[in-house]
Structure 1
């Protein structure tokens, strides 16, 4: 290799390319070029003895581009060596046989993947139509304070998805937990999640029941709760109904399984920061926007960046002044989450720049460890990070 490098360096007609130039010319990354050098597949013609910097000959671009194509289709490392050797020696028969063998492997792998995924779909269909042996099919009747149920619905309604491709997120999950005598209301649109919990009094005899109530029916139920007093909520297997203030609303539930929200809200403990909600809302309304981003649903949103000051206060920061432990969020989503609680004091729990941001009630109002009210916002990664 040393003699080749020297000859190349002394050859005035040979143009040398830096590793970055070769990466741009071939479609391989710099790290991939280093890997293939170490594997003895594509060697640079010259390596600086002091810095270790690699230089490639301009005539190696063809081999590098070929290598990039083979890399994209997952060609095994051992075959790469043979193909490049055959390419250099114009051994078309060898190269053709290796390409055919790899194509056959890919076809076999695709057939295996189809069979496995088909089996998983069959198991999923069986699970969807299989009623648990312990399920109680009798209607579940709950007596609740109308005002408390209205507040709980307001706390989660904003997080319902409107994506028609995800019908399992197009409503509010009503989940009765008989062990701790709690009704949980949950909604999520992937980017945020809202949970509210209502304790059940002695008049209710709950059994486990979980139904997904479409957004339109949630709104109809909420409209009956403005007069206060008591409300009787009945959860059947395929429908719900509510009686309140002498009126009744009801309808069919969605025939979809809601995601396991308990896994989503099971967060590692983070730093808890008290928040003055009016001050934070005012700061968000006038703060610098850190660019706009298009989400997976095709909508544009503004990014706000938050940080914690040395004295422990939550602040809205600029791009230039953001601290190391900053985190970025969808500004509109954060404002929505702050508005629905109707509280002037909240607690933000920060688990890190890539962990969900949790918005909770203060401990004095919360009353239980896992929180009666909780909103989660997924963080946004800034373009320069």
Structure 2
């Protein structure tokens, strides 16, 4: 039989994978040998497995996670599933490269300030955005601002100007909200990259100022200051001197299920649905937990307490803080919503169709089984 098979050494040589790697992927049920000698335990591979081994080697080189490699090698021919996994990984790599470039740009600025502390001063940037869009962005993220005195970096709204996009971000570690709006390019070049954390009180003052009905708002940020002028009035103040957490890595989701429904419908179901009290709030405080169930037909319901642990066949469950979920619904808009469910340990994403850059994330809560 061995004459028709590749030994593990031969497959390693011809595929570019090491012998130890082939043993690992056998144990992980990714690339199992065609035959294992019962006397020696030596692994032998069929000729057709060489192509899979070479593909696995290249997937490994580009850093595809084990689950992705398994999905590619197990995809049905012609289904497009393997291409989908690779395309999603490419997007993650491109996003990571963009983040790295941005961080390196900021690193160069910090190095310049360190090497020239007297002559180098941080720049201030000014630009104009529609007042109504800025107000909507603040409304979309305000509910998620943290209030924990032990985490002062989260007690404000991040204004992240990244080229031609202004992103507003807020999180208290249990939920996160993002909103973005385009920024016109400056004359003679693209918009700069700068980020500041605006304290909660100043952000609330800006929102009140935007309610005056003016069409445009002029923002100024940088050098430890933030200001907004609109309708002949101006408000300004100092920003928080902290490094905000890297939110980009947290919002790259690969949802398994998407379901669309009306915001009012979901609110009604949550308000009238069953809950379970669990010690899952800030600092371990008890909170009311809502368990959402998505069945195999894409129907979303609030699950009763006795049914919270196990999903039906083809379905998925996710448990979240009930109050946080209700807070997030107005941020998603008054009409249609899209919920993205990745599973019981993945964040629940709440989006509004047509506003890809504005959405909320709720961290999942583990529901223990009744015993």
TM-score by length of 1: 0.61
- Deviations along 1:47-101, whole A, 9 cap, x unmatched? xxxxxxxxxxxxxxxxxxxxxxxxxxxxxxxxxxxxxxxxxxxxxxxxxxxxxxx
Report the Cα distance in structure 2 between the residues aligned to 1:256 and 1:293, rounded to whole angstroms: 30
Match in the other structure for 1:361? 352
8 Å Cα contact 1:284-1:331 kept in structure 2? yes
Match in the other structure for 1:90? none
> Could you tell me how far 1:131 is from its partner in structure 2?
1.6
8 Å Cα contact 2:157-2:170 kept in structure 1? yes
- Deviations along 1:273-322, whole A, 9 cap, x unmatched? 11221011011111111224352435431000001134312111112334
8 Å Cα contact 1:304-1:331 kept in structure 2? yes
Match in the other structure for 2:167? 184
Q: What secondary structure, in the 3-state scheme, does the structure 2 residue paired with 1:337 have?
A: helix
Are the structure 2 counterparts of residues 183 and 292 from structure 1 closer, same or farther at C-alpha, using a change threshold of 3 Å?
same
- Deviations along 1:142-195, whole A, 9 cap, x unmatched? 1000000000011011101000000111111111111xx100000110000000
RMSD: 2.3
Q: 1:351 aligns with which of 322, 342, 367?
A: 342
Q: 1:293 aligns with which of 268, 279, 288?
A: 279
Are the structure 2 counterparts of residues 351 and 199 from structure 1 closer, same or farther at C-alpha, using a change threshold of 3 Å?
same
Residue 175 in 1 paired to residue 160 in 2?
Answer: yes
Residue 238 in 1 paired to residue 224 in 2?
Answer: yes
Q: What secondary structure, in the 3-state scheme, does the structure 1 residue paired with 2:327 have?
A: helix
8 Å Cα contact 2:156-2:198 kept in structure 1? yes
> Could you tell me how far 1:203 is from its partner in structure 2?
5.5
234-243 or 260-269, which deviates more:
260-269
Structure 2 counterparts to residues 222-301 of structure 1, below 5 A = 222-226=207-211, 227-297=213-283, 299-301=285-287
Report the Cα distance in structure 2 between the residues aligned to 1:321 and 1:299, rounded to whole angstroms: 24
Q: 1:337 aligns with which of 328, 332, 340?
A: 328
Report the Cα distance in structure 2 between the residues aligned to 1:248 and 1:298, rounded to whole angstroms: 41
Q: What secondary structure, in the 3-state scheme, does the structure 1 residue paired with 2:283 have?
A: coil
Aligned residues: 251
Q: What secondary structure, in the 3-state scheme, does the structure 2 residue paired with 1:259 have?
A: coil
Q: What secondary structure, in the 3-state scheme, does the structure 1 residue paired with 2:248 have?
A: helix
- Deviations along 1:114-159, whole A, 9 cap, x unmatched? xxxxxxxxxxxxx99x824499832111100000000001101110
Task: Return 5+ residue gaps in structure 2 as ranges.
Answer: 1-105, 114-119
184-193 or 271-280, which deviates more:
271-280
8 Å Cα contact 1:290-1:302 kept in structure 2? yes
Match in the other structure for 2:194? 209
